[in-house]
A and B are shown apart, each in its own frame.
Chain A
Amino acid sequence: MKQKKKWYDFLWIVSLSYLILGFFNILFAWLGLLCFFIPLIIAIAGGNKAYCNKFCGRGQLFSLIGGRFGLSRKKDIPKWLKSAWFRYGFLIFFFVMFFMMLWNTYLVFAGTKDLNTAVTLLWTFRLPWRWAYHGTLFSDGVAQFAFGFYSVMLTSTVLGLFTMVLCKPRSWCVYCPMGTMTQLICKAKHVTSSRKK
């Protein structure tokens, strides 16, 4: 009855490694751009959500920990969490925070601000992360971006784990900004074809 496992069913290992590498050298955080651009490229070029449906290691990680290992109450998520206004609102909020992070990086690049070797969790809590900083390449800004991007990734993982435990394993996928964005792109792409139906 079970569907056969494919190579991409193991991409959760990549996601897990990414999170772990960030504890050793923050510059690895740059690799995270892959799970930013790949889904966008698939959605824009292919017009589908194959990334979510097949390749996303984070979603797999949640279904593994919450599903296989049972670390989840498996309860329905609250209604507001799946409402359109929350999903789109969260996407916008995420974008605003993302651009603030980019702006911060720019300031460090420009030399107006000093490098801050902290990881900001949930946009509020500054965790000292100096141990993972072993110098940078080219400019302090390169490291600043790594800290900023890793903050984004860690924050979304923590939020995802939180809702995984409280609700269903992959609850994060309901309000995941990448998921919402790729779905929006697909909707936009198929506006004409779906109108015909």
Chain B
Amino acid sequence: MIKRKAAVSIRECAACGCCMKICPKRAITIHKGIYANVNKDLCVGCGLCAKECPASIITLEVTEQ
């Protein structure tokens, strides 16, 4: 089955946490204050985080599962 999951461009991440706050599945944590980390098992690919991210660095990537 094809699923979409959020992917963060870590290098550009400001670690502001907007994505973490909006995620309904609590799939995102801010890894050591450096970048946002998506738990792919929890992410349902709703895209809310991508919309919220002020730097617009989250994309939804297709993953086979």
A53 contacts across to B, CB distance below 8 A = 15-17, 20-21, 30
Whether A186 contacts B34 in the complex (CB less than 8 A), given A1-B24, A3-B26, comes out as: yes
B57 contacts across to A, CB distance below 8 A = 82
Q: Tell me the bound Cα distance from A1 to B44 in angstroms.
A: 13
B: which residues have CB within 8 A of A? 12, 14-18, 20-21, 24, 26, 30, 32-34, 51-57
A: which residues have CB within 8 A of B? 1-3, 43, 47-50, 52-54, 59, 63, 74, 76-77, 82, 87, 167-174, 176, 179-180, 182-183, 185-187, 189-190, 193-194
Q: Are A52 and B12 in contact, CB atoms less than 8 angstroms apart?
A: no
Which of A43, A49, A168, A193 contacts B54, CB < 8 Å? A168
Which of A3, A49, A77, A82 contacts B17, CB < 8 Å? A49
Q: Tell me the bound Cα distance from A176 to B12 in angstroms.
A: 14
Q: Tell me the bound Cα distance from A54 to B21 in angstroms.
A: 8
Residue of A nearest to B56 (CB): A76
Whether A2 contacts B14 in the complex (CB less than 8 A), given A169-B54, A174-B55, comes out as: no
Q: Are A47 and B56 in contact, CB atoms less than 8 angstroms apart?
A: no
Q: Are A170 and B32 in contact, CB atoms less than 8 angstroms apart?
A: no
With both chains docked as a complex, state the minimum distance between the C-beta of A50 and any C-beta of chain B, in angstroms: 8
Q: Are A173 and B33 in contact, CB atoms less than 8 angstroms apart?
A: no
Q: Are B33 and A48 in contact, CB atoms less than 8 angstroms apart?
A: yes
Whether A173 contacts B54 in the complex (CB less than 8 A), given A63-B18, A82-B12, A179-B14, comes out as: yes
Which of B16, B32, B55 contacts A48, CB < 8 Å? B32
Q: Tell me the bound Cα distance from A186 to B52 in angstroms.
A: 23
A-B contacts, 9 listed (Cβ < 8 Å): A48-B30, A53-B15, A53-B20, A77-B54, A77-B55, A168-B53, A172-B54, A173-B54, A186-B33
Q: Are B15 and A52 in contact, CB atoms less than 8 angstroms apart?
A: yes
With both chains docked as a complex, state the minimum distance between the C-beta of A172 and any C-beta of chain B, in angstroms: 8
A74 contacts across to B, CB distance below 8 A = 51
Interface centre among B15, B18, B33, B57 (most CB of A within 10 A): B33
Q: Are B55 and A186 in contact, CB atoms less than 8 angstroms apart?
A: no
Whether A174 contacts B16 in the complex (CB less than 8 A), given A2-B24, A77-B54, comes out as: yes
With both chains docked as a complex, state the minimum distance between the C-beta of A183 and any C-beta of chain B, in angstroms: 5
